[in-house]
């Protein structure tokens, strides 16, 4: 069975040849691990340790009482030397626990395997997922235990594994599929059990035929798990588009995938779930693709959470002299950073993309020529040109009327615009204003 | 590290296309038809094309105070398109006035590129037609440039379909050769600058109306009438290059189809029931006026639209 593709989208090109054939190599553990207390969507954690405490690897160092939250763990064993602010991908400083590594890698006592993991009840599995600090590793870092706890009454029919990795340059998930395909299937099975879904479907873009093969082999003995190659087009890995392609259902505007019977997981998250449930190992490391023409030695690395970006970059030979932009994530939706200083790899760091002078252009913004290319490529069928010009003129209510809040910020419109209009940036600006006005209106009631 | 890194909003990849590259693509697409015009109508055609294009570029460069006379290429496109819809033997001063008018009145008074409501070349043509009707309706036939009447004036039997398709008939510089126009438009389709919606709606409607109203005596005659109306006059040029002008046509898919159909309908109403033999210019200008309304009424259903 082949699936049609979704409406819109662009073909920016792969740019994956630098790293797609390189096996994941472990990064050296950091001298000082910087563990941010917020690496997820939701309430930030409070520190559970104090300066001077001895901590072990896999020990919980921060937790929160909020439901939408996830604990954070130390990725090394050593001593807490300070609890201070560090830089984060979004630009806001976050509080972090700084741990000096004793390089003993002593695991904490709580990290014990569960040999009877297949007999565990749903509630026990959810508790393990939460205690493991597992969050969505595609980049959004939504707490997984919340995602697998849909409101009562919502029946989940499909668990979809988003193995598209549609962002150019990134190959972290691709390598995970080649190197640990069975663990992805285990994680998927666990999620299917927790949400009681009869079917699991894995979607991989067809520019990764070896990964399709590997996962088909791993899933061969599981009749309720299917693996499908999907047409390569950005953003095939956008959750809403994946759901549309697999099920022909649309997530209602403002709603969640569980409302149309779907739960979507990244393959890295599946592996993390498998590791926690089977071995008691919390989320303390992840695959990261360090790539781009601005880095000396592009690599895929298994990096411990908390490793300073500077150390990872050094282990890849360092920046080239003509480096001009460093992006955390992929080139379409990643965040450009002012520098790698005082900032660690976190649970959501899928890639470090280093771009050079030739690839970074500062453009003049021109008039909209109504070419309608942005309308044609928009995967959610909103009107980027009209939202953009409304924001340009400060008319945020018009931006709302043109459905700015439904924008998935994929960047297709901005990518394709010949006038180089910063459409996504304008739409993001309007979202803040619209959300504030809606909150104020709701407060009045 | 001592280098300052650029921090900007995603996406960090951009297409290599620009307004200028799009305009250059349009000029490339117009080249076959321009060449056909010169082959058929000789030096007068070439001179007219040069005059309209240069005067348009100079007018825009002066108004926008830009050193580079080519600029973003949109003035050159407007100038060349104007020449394509002029009779080859217009006086030099009419060509120059036309080029300047297209830019000044057709585009810049609205606020420049992207803000004009009407197709600039057609605005200029309408003004020239109103001011110097005799010059604008004096036609010559190819090669020997003897005065002649156009296919639309003479009717279906005056020219073979082969001549109509290749373009060896009297008419405006760029409108006669359907073959050259289709060839050039293929480049625009390939680059994704135009879709089938506007030209398809336009040409399809012209054909259907010609089929229904133009022929007498059986299916073959009706079919010929439909084909005649598509090939004669400015329908091919209008449908492929004028109606598809990005700034003045709708941005929505449904809107583009409605726009194309409307152009075809109005063209045929003018041709069949109106005083003018050719209706393409007025049809497109009228549909240009309706474009903002069409856009507003054809906004697409967004992903996840909750039915009310």
CB contact under 8 A, B22 and A240: no
- A444 pLDDT more than 90: no
- Residue pair A70/A130 in contact (Cβ under 8 Å)? The answer is yes
What pLDDT score was predicted for residue A2? 63
What pLDDT score was predicted for residue A369? 96
Query: Region A408-429: what's the mean pLDDT?
Result: 96
SS3 A319: strand
Across the interface, of A324, A367, A414, the residue whose CB is closest to B112 is A367
Restricting to B residues 67-126, those with a Cβ less than 8 Å away from any Cβ of A are 72, 74, 112-115
Chain B nearest C-alpha distance from A62 (Å): 31
- A78 pLDDT more than 60: yes
Q: Which residues are within 8 A (CB) of A239 and not within 5 positions of it... i.e. 6 or more apart? A: A162, A251, A257, A264
> Per the domain annotation, does B272 fall within a domain?
yes
Q: Which residues are within 8 A (CB) of A102 and not within 5 positions of it... i.e. 6 or more apart? A: A76, A77, A78, A79
Strand A25-26 to strand A299-304: parallel, antiparallel, or no bridges (unpaired)? parallel
Q: Is B15 on the interface with A (CB under 8 A)?
A: yes
Query: Region B4-33: what's the mean pLDDT?
Result: 95
Chain B nearest C-alpha distance from A276 (Å): 34
What pLDDT score was predicted for residue B21? 96
SS3 A287: strand
ipTM of the modeled complex: 0.92
Model confidence at B258, in pLDDT bands (50, 70, 90)? very high
Restricting to B residues 38-67, those with a Cβ less than 8 Å away from any Cβ of A are none
Our CA dihedral for B212, B214, B216, B220, rounded to 10 degrees, sits at: -70
Lowest mean pLDDT across A3-12, A21-30, B283-292: A3-12
**How far apart (Å, rounded) are the C-alpha atoms in residues B141 and B157?**
16
pLDDT digits (tens, 9 = 90+) for A325-364: 999 999 999 999 999 999 999 999 999 999 999 889 888 9
Query: Region B204-218: what's the mean pLDDT?
Result: 87
- Domain residues for the domain of B93 are 19-295
CB contact under 8 A, B302 and A411: no
- B76 pLDDT more than 90: yes
CB contact under 8 A, A335 and B10: yes
What pLDDT score was predicted for residue B156? 84
CB contact under 8 A, A331 and B249: no
**What is the pLDDT of chain B when averaged over all its residues?**
94
Residue A62's alpha-carbon distances to A33, A58, A90, B263, in angstroms, are 14, 12, 20, 67
Q: Is B249 on the interface with A (CB under 8 A)?
A: yes
Q: Give the rounded distance of the alpha carbon of B13 from its chain centre.
A: 33
Q: Is B16 on the interface with A (CB under 8 A)?
A: no
Q: Is A361 on the interface with B (CB under 8 A)?
A: yes
Q: Is A358 on the interface with B (CB under 8 A)?
A: no
CATH of domain A117-279: 3.40.50.11540
What pLDDT score was predicted for residue B217? 75
- Residue pair A290/A301 in contact (Cβ under 8 Å)? The answer is yes
A77 C-beta neighbours (distance < 10 Å), count: 22
More confident residue, A94 or B214: A94
DSSP A260: G
B53 cis-preceded (ω within 30 degrees of 0): no
**What is the pLDDT of chain A when averaged over all its residues?**
95
**How far apart (Å, rounded) are the C-alpha atoms in residues B149 and B151?**
7
Across the interface, of A319, A331, A362, the residue whose CB is closest to B12 is A331
Q: Is B308 on the interface with A (CB under 8 A)?
A: no
Model confidence at B218, in pLDDT bands (50, 70, 90)? confident
CB contact under 8 A, B5 and A12: no
Chain B nearest C-alpha distance from A157 (Å): 19
SS3 B54: helix
CB contact under 8 A, B306 and A331: no
- Residue pair B296/A386 in contact (Cβ under 8 Å)? The answer is no
> Per the domain annotation, does B14 fall within a domain?
no
Q: Is B307 on the interface with A (CB under 8 A)?
A: no
Restricting to A residues 226-255, those with a Cβ less than 8 Å away from any Cβ of B are 240, 244, 250-255
> Per the domain annotation, does B146 fall within a domain?
yes
What pLDDT score was predicted for residue A1? 54
Query: Region A302-325: what's the mean pLDDT?
Result: 96
- Residue pair A282/A58 in contact (Cβ under 8 Å)? The answer is yes
Domain count, chain B: 1
A250 cis-preceded (ω within 30 degrees of 0): no
Cβ density class A155-184: b for 16+ within 10 Å, e for less: ebebbbbbbbbbbbbbbbbbbbbbebbebb
Query: Region B199-205: what's the mean pLDDT?
Result: 97
- Residue pair A328/A286 in contact (Cβ under 8 Å)? The answer is no
Residue B218's alpha-carbon distances to A155, B203, B210, B221, B272, in angstroms, are 62, 22, 13, 6, 19
Q: Is B14 on the interface with A (CB under 8 A)?
A: yes
**How far apart (Å, rounded) are the C-alpha atoms in residues B20 and B25?**
9
- Residue whose C-alpha is closest to residue B145's, from B87, B196, B193: B87
CATH of the domain at B222: 1.10.3430
Chain B residue numbers touching A424 (CB-CB < 8 A): 9-11
Enclosing H/E stretch for B209: helix B197-213
Q: Is A375 on the interface with B (CB under 8 A)?
A: yes
Q: Is A332 on the interface with B (CB under 8 A)?
A: yes
Q: Is A370 on the interface with B (CB under 8 A)?
A: yes
Sheet holding A299-304, edge to edge: A25-26, A299-304, A285-291, A351-356, A323-328, A335-337
- B308 pLDDT more than 60: no
pTM of the full predicted structure?
0.93
**Residue ranges of domains in chain A:** 117-279, 373-444
What pLDDT score was predicted for residue A284? 96
pLDDT digits (tens, 9 = 90+) for A304-313: 999 999 999 9
CB contact under 8 A, B12 and A336: yes
CB-count exposure of residue B262 (10 Å: 0-12, 13-18, 19+): buried
Q: Is A371 on the interface with B (CB under 8 A)?
A: yes
- Residue pair A284/A305 in contact (Cβ under 8 Å)? The answer is yes
- Residue pair B124/B106 in contact (Cβ under 8 Å)? The answer is yes
pLDDT digits (tens, 9 = 90+) for A105-151: 999 999 999 999 999 999 999 999 999 999 999 999 999 999 999 99
> Per the domain annotation, does B306 fall within a domain?
no
Residue A196's alpha-carbon distances to A127, A228, A273, in angstroms, are 16, 22, 16
For B242-278, the DSSP string reads ITT-TTTS-SSHHHHHHHHHHHHHHHHHHHHHSSSS-
What pLDDT score was predicted for residue B214? 75
- A102 pLDDT more than 80: yes
């Amino acid at each position: 069975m082949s699936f049609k593709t979704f409406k819109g989208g662009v073909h920016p090109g792969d740019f994956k040849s630098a790293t797609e054939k390189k096996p994941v190599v472990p990064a050296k553990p950091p001298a000082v691990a910087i563990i941010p207390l917020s690496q997820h969507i939701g309430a930030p954690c409070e520190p559970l340790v104090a300066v001077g405490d001895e901590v072990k690897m896999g020990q919980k160092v921060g937790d929160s009482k909020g439901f939408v939250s996830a604990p954070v763990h130390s990725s090394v064993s050593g001593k807490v030397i300070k609890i201070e602010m560090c830089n984060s991908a979004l630009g806001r400083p976050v509080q972090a626990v700084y741990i000096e590594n004793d390089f003993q890698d002593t695991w904490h006592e709580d990290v014990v395997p569960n040999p009877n993991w297949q007999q565990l009840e749903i509630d026990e599995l959810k508790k393990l997922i939460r205690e493991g600090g597992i969050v969505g590793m595609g980049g959004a870092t939504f707490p997984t235990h919340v995602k697998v706890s849909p409101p009562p009454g919502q029946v989940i029919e499909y668990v979809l594994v988003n193995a598209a990795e549609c962002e150019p340059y990134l190959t972290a998930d691709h390598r995970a599929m080649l190197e640990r395909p069975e663990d992805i299937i285990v994680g998927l099975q666990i999620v299917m059990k927790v949400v009681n879904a009869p079917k699991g479907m894995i979607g991989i873009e067809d520019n990764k035929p070896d990964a399709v093969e590997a996962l088909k082999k791993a899933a061969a003995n599981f009749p309720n798990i299917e693996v499908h190659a999907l047409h390569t087009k950005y953003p095939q890995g956008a959750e809403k588009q994946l759901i549309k392609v697999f099920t022909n259902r649309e997530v209602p505007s403002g709603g969640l995938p569980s409302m149309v019977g779907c739960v979507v997981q990244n393959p890295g998250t599946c592996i993390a779930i498998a590791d926690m449930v089977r071995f008691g190992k919390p989320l303390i490391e992840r695959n990261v693709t360090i790539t781009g023409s601005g880095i000396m030695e592009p690599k895929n690395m298994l990096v411990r959470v908390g490793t300073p970006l500077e150390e990872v970059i050094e282990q890849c030979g360092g920046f080239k002299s003509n480096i001009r932009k460093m992006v955390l994530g992929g080139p379409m939706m990643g965040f450009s950073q002012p520098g790698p200083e005082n900032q660690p790899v976190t649970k959501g760091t899928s890639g470090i993309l280093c771009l050079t002078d030739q690839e970074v252009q500062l453009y003049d913004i021109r008039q909209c020529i109504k070419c309608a290319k942005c309308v044609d490529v928009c995967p959610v069928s909103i009107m980027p040109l009209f939202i953009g010009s409304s924001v340009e003129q400060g008319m945020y209510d018009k931006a709302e009327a043109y459905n700015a809040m439904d924008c998935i910020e994929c960047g297709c419109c901005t990518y394709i615009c010949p006038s180089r209009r910063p459409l996504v940036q304008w739409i993001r600006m309007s979202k803040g204003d619209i959300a504030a006005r809606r909150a104020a209106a709701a407060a009045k009631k | 590290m001592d280098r300052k890194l650029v921090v900007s909003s995603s996406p960090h990849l951009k297409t290599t296309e620009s307004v200028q590259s799009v305009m250059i693509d349009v000029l490339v697409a117009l080249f076959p038809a321009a060449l056909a015009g010169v082959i058929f109508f000789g030096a007068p055609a070439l001179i007219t094309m040069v005059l309209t294009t240069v005067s348009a570029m100079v007018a825009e460069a002066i108004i926008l105070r830009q050193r580079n006379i080519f600029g973003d290429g949109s003035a050159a496109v407007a100038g060349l398109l104007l020449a394509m819809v002029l009779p080859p033997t217009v006086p030099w001063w009419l060509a120059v006035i036309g080029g300047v008018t297209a830019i000044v009145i057709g585009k810049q008074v609205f606020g420049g590129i992207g803000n004009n409501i009407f197709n600039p070349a057609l605005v200029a043509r309408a003004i020239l037609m109103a001011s110097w009707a005799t010059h604008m309706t004096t036609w010559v036939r190819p090669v020997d440039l003897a005065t002649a009447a156009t296919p639309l004036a003479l009717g279906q039997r005056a020219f073979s379909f082969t001549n109509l398709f290749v373009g060896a008939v009297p008419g405006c510089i760029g409108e006669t050769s359907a073959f050259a126009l289709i060839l050039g438009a293929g480049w625009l389709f390939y680059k994704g600058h135009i879709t089938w919606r506007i030209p398809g709606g336009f040409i399809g409607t012209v054909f259907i109306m010609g089929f229904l109203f133009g022929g007498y005596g059986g299916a073959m005659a009706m079919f010929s009438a439909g084909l005649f109306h598509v090939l004669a006059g400015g329908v091919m040029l209008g449908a492929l290059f004028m109606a598809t002008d990005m700034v003045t046509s709708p941005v929505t898919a449904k809107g583009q189809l409605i726009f194309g159909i409307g152009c075809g309908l109005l063209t045929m109403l003018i041709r069949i029931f109106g005083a003018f033999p050719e209706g393409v210019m007025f049809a497109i200008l009228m549909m240009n006026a309706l474009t903002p309304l069409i856009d507003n009424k054809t906004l697409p259903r967004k992903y996840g639209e909750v039915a009310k």
